[in-house]
Every structure is written in C-alpha cells, then in structure tokens.
Structure 1
C-alpha cells in the first residue's frame, strides 16, 4: 500500500485492490484539519476513478456536530450531486460514543447521498465485502 496523505486526523492509503484505506487516529481533531483529510480522500477516489473505501474508525473520537453536518451537507453531497456512487466498508469504533455518533451520521445524513455502506467488526470482513462489489459503470 502506498501512503497518499497523512495528518493528525489519520492516514489515507492507496490499496492495490483499488480502494482508499482511511485510517483514523484517536487524536482530537481540528475541524479544518478534518475537512482537509476528507477532501484528500475525495481527491484520491476521483483521481483513480475508485468507488470504494475502507474506513477504519476503531480508534477515532466521536464525530462532532460540526463534522457530522459537514459530512452530510458538503462531503457526501459532492458525490450525490454528480451521481458518483461510493461504497464504504466501515470498521466500527470501539468507543461507545463514537459508535453513537457514527449511527447518527449514517441514519440522518446518508439517506440522500450516493454512499452505500456496511458496518463491520473486523478489517477482514470489510475487505471481503469490498472484493465482492462490482465496479460501477
């Protein structure tokens, strides 16, 4: 795997199987740094024409209200507005509050987005699901 981008929010890697591997850290997040991290994720996906990502959220702190709002109204809206289908395999956070914040994002923000996602307990399960997905046309 090749490192594409890294900042205090996490690491973004190019997986040889054709997806972005998004690894969040447990560090507290600055909102602008968080926006930069997800913006680079968007660029990586588009650069390669990829439609899949594996988001490892095991160690991340809960999303803030500001982050949840930005994910739904900006980051996911970019893909939805131009019909760019995304598939996300998400490894669930170990922190209970982070899981609740993730549930809030998924249930309220993703209803109108182009993201199809599944939640997984392990990286192996998440990877297997991504491998089974067909490439969008």
Structure 2
C-alpha cells in the first residue's frame, strides 16, 4: 500500500486492490482539517477512477453534527452529482458510542446519493465484500 495523504485526522492509502483505505486516528478533530482529509480521499478516488473505499473507524470518535452535515450535504452529494457510484466498507470503532457514528450520516443520504455501504467488525470481512463489488 502507498500513502496518499496524511493529517491529524488520519491516513489515506492507495490499496493495490483498487480502493482507498481510509484510516481514522483517535482524538478530537478540527473541522477544516476533517474537510481536507475527506477532500483528499475524494480526489484519490477520482484520480484512479475507483469506486470503493474501506473506512477504518475503529479508533475514531463519533462524528460531530457539523461533520455529519458536511458529509451528507457536500462530500456524498458531490459524488452523486457527478454520477459517481461509491461502495464503502466501514470497520466499526471499538468505542461503543462511535459504533453508531456512521449510521445516521449514511442513512440520511442513502436514497439521495450513489453510496452503497456495509458495516463490518472484521477487516477481512470488509475487504472480501469490497472485492465482490
């Protein structure tokens, strides 16, 4: 794997199997830094023409309301506006409260975006699912 981008939010890697591996770091997040992190993720996907990402959220804290709104209103909407389908495998966080972090955000845009996602506890299950997409 090759490192594509890194900041305090986490790391974005290019997986040789044709997807972006998004690894979230632990701790609080600055909103502008968060936006940059996901913008670089989107750029990586578009650069390679990839439609898959593996989001490792095992160490992250739950999304803030501001982050949820930006993901739904901007990041996922941008992919939908581009007619760009996206498959996301999400490895849930070890923090029991963060387990629910992706659900409201993703469910809110499921019908209005080109996102298909599944939540996993094991990385191998997530990568197996991505390989089938």
Looking at structure 2, the residues matched to 86 and 10 of structure 1 have their Cα atoms a distance apart, in angstroms, of: 20
Report the count of equivalent residues: 133
Q: Deviations over 1:73-116 (max 9, x none)?
A: 00000010121000001001111221222221122233311110
**Residue 118 (structure 1) aligned with residue 118 (structure 2):** yes
Q: TM-score, normalised by structure 2?
A: 0.97
Matches within 5 A, 1:28-67: 28-67=28-67
Matches within 5 A, 1:33-112: 33-112=33-112
Extract unaligned runs of 5+ from structure 2: none
1:27 Cα offset (Å): 2.0
Looking at structure 2, the residues matched to 80 and 56 of structure 1 have their Cα atoms a distance apart, in angstroms, of: 22
Q: Deviations over 1:35-77 (max 9, x none)?
A: 0000000000000000000000011000000000000000000
- After TM superposition, the runs of 4+ consecutive aligned structure 1 residues lying more than 3 A away are none
* Maintained 8 Å contact 1:72/1:110: no
